[in-house]
Amino acid sequence: MLRRTPAMSSTPDLKIDYVARLARLALTPAEQEQYARQLGDVLHHIEQLAKVDVTGVEPTAHAFPVENVWDEDVARPGLSVAAALRNAPAQRENMIRVPKVVE
């Protein structure tokens, strides 16, 4: 949560306790000061980005066009039972045998 004070027009007054509580972080006073300063720097950079003129720039989600690169969905023969079981450490009745996990 940000609140600008008249005396500090360029530096936001961060309520780092509120932010830490939202993130479920227990911060020491030194950490609060450090993180408040770091978050203030990030917000300052965001303010700089807000000044950039983006008139005529089309909004995009990706830098390059995303195209479907999947092959056609065509049914093909799968592995034979023997090929599927070839590297199985243990097998029984044409199935891979695994150790019991749940009793």
Whether 74 maps to a domain, the answer reads no
Whether 98 maps to a domain, the answer reads no
Q: What's the burial of 16, exposed, middle or buried (CB within 10 Å: 0-12/13-18/19+)?
A: buried
Whether 68 maps to a domain, the answer reads no
Rounded Cα gap, residues 33 and 16, in angstroms: 8
Whether 86 maps to a domain, the answer reads no
Number of domains the chain contains: 1
CATH of the domain at 39: 1.10.20
Whether 66 maps to a domain, the answer reads no
Half-sphere exposure of 84 (CA within 13 A, CB side): 12
Whether 14 maps to a domain, the answer reads yes
Q: Considering only CA atoms, give the Rg of the chain.
A: 29
Global pTM value: 0.43
Q: What pLDDT, in 10s, does the model give residues 48-98?
A: 999 999 899 888 888 888 788 788 889 999 999 999 999 999 999 999 999
Whether 46 maps to a domain, the answer reads yes
Rounded Cα gap, residues 49 and 23, in angstroms: 25
Domain that holds residue 29: 2-50
List the beta bridge partners of residue 25.
none
Whether 16 maps to a domain, the answer reads yes
Query: Which of 1 and 49 is assigned the larger pLDDT?
Result: 49
Residue 41 region by backbone torsions, left for phi larger than 0, else alpha for psi between -120 and 50, else beta: alpha
